[in-house]
Amino acid sequence: MLFSSVSFLFAFLPLAVCVYFVAPGRHVKNLVLLALSIVFYAYGGLGSLAVLGCSILANYLCGLAVDHFRDVPRAARTALVVGVVVNVALLASFKYLGFLAGSVSAVSGISLPVPTLIMPIGVSFFTFEGLSYIIDVYRAKAPAQRNPLDVALYMGLFATIMSGPIVRYSQFHEQIRGRSDRLEGLAAGAKRFTVGLAKKMIIAGALGTLANSAFATPDVDLSVAAAWLGALAFTGQIYFDFSGYSDMAVGLGQMFGFRLPENFDYPYISQSVTEFWRRWHISLGTWFREYIYIPLGGNRVTRLVNLRNILIVWALTGLWHGASWTFVVWGVYYGALMAVEKFVLGDRLERIWRPIRHMATMLAVVVGWVIFKSDTLGGALQYLQTMLGLGGQTLVDGRALFYLAQYRFELIIAVVASLPLVPLARGWWEKSERSALARGLFTAGTALVLAALLIVSTSYVVSTTFSPFLYFKF
């Protein structure tokens, strides 16, 4: 079930809100949320629900074992290792088995049979949360849950189960019992959800149509300008699609009293690749830093070991996104860029004129998205060659002019919406002294804008065909 589907918007969500706020007491409300989450996830298939249930049970038992043997370090560490192995094995079985077999076959020439397994939606996300649970319990950052239903609520909450944000257990455990769910939070969450829905339906949908058209066009028929428009469109699509989902997830969390972590912070204003990844998919970057990079030694090691740690983390980051060498190369590409910024440019980076830094960063990001979007490394290289005019293509053709004419408004809106204009304007307004009438008009105007966004977005939902979020396949 998609957040941007008719069934969710007009049936599941209204029913969920009504049942939740009628339910008495925190314990019953949690049971209601868990039941709703089971229904929500089961909508995608009972097989996926069974995998999720096994993952929850395994992590619950490992968490109890880690806590039980806390005074016996070796036994506690063994329980932790068992939990990590179980989680990694589950993820590898459903997501990477075919990739590993194909890679071995390509190198050895031996054909390996691979069972056909349907990858559960969100397996990368709930597996990482399961790992966070047992690791945080082992580190004594949060207590083990005695009630398995509480672990199930953490790993299976319908707001985050599909595509995050990845919530670390240490951020979540107190909210299971101690959160505050009031009408103010419901209203704030509904606003945030509306903004995310608008990002997805109004901006990402149109840009995705442009990007798919450009990337599906044979290179010989694609001009330099059309190739660039396709790459820029995908750059916008993936941001507004995924940040839109994250806004909707955070908004849903607010509706039910949860404080979910922010996942995006206007990444396209970044002045370096390192800054870009501090602003993009924040919860994933934080997870890798806490559970992979720092345990490897982080930056408190020699330069060579630090370089190794960076490349390992980014190779894993790429592989996390998909079982393909394209994603591995994409991850290593970013790891190499960040290593250059850290070890080669260093403080000199700050002395470069800001517009140049921003343009260079965005160029690197667009190239990265071409690699990410392409099905093969060869396809990515061909598309990049077209963008550089190295394939003999014309500079501008009718296709490029059509793209500009057809999607000019969406492209302009995407550029404006990727800038932090709204928080800047809100901060200026809140700091300035205004009369009660002016503040009332501002509140009313904001409500009208949100209502308009909701009406337009829902009209897109009703009139368009199936349009899944990009990150569902990861």
* Catalytic position from the list 27, 173, 321, 358: 321
- Beta-carbon-side half-sphere exposure of residue 206 (alpha carbons within 13 Å): 18
The torsion region of residue 2 among left (phi > 0), alpha (psi -120 to 50) and beta comes to: beta
Q: Which two tokens stand for residue 464?
A: 């368009």
Distance CA 114, CA 47 (A): 19
Six-digit token string for 213: 């058209």
| Catalytic site includes residue 321 | yes
Using CA atoms, how far apart are residues 232 and 400, in angstroms rounded to an integer? 12
Residue 450 CA to residue 439 CA, distance in Å, equals 17
Rounded CA gap, 236 and 215, in Å? 14
Contacts of 424 by beta carbon, 8 Å cutoff, 6+ apart: none
Query: Do residues 456 and 202 lie in contact, with contact meaning Cβ atoms separated by under 8 Å?
Result: yes
- With CA atoms as reference, report the closest residue to 44 among 120, 156, 126: 120
Closest-CA residue to 273 (of 373, 372, 371, 368): 368
Three-state secondary structure call for residue 90: helix
Alpha-carbon gap, residue 216 to 269, rounded angstroms:
29
DSSP state of 301: S
Active-site residue numbers? 321
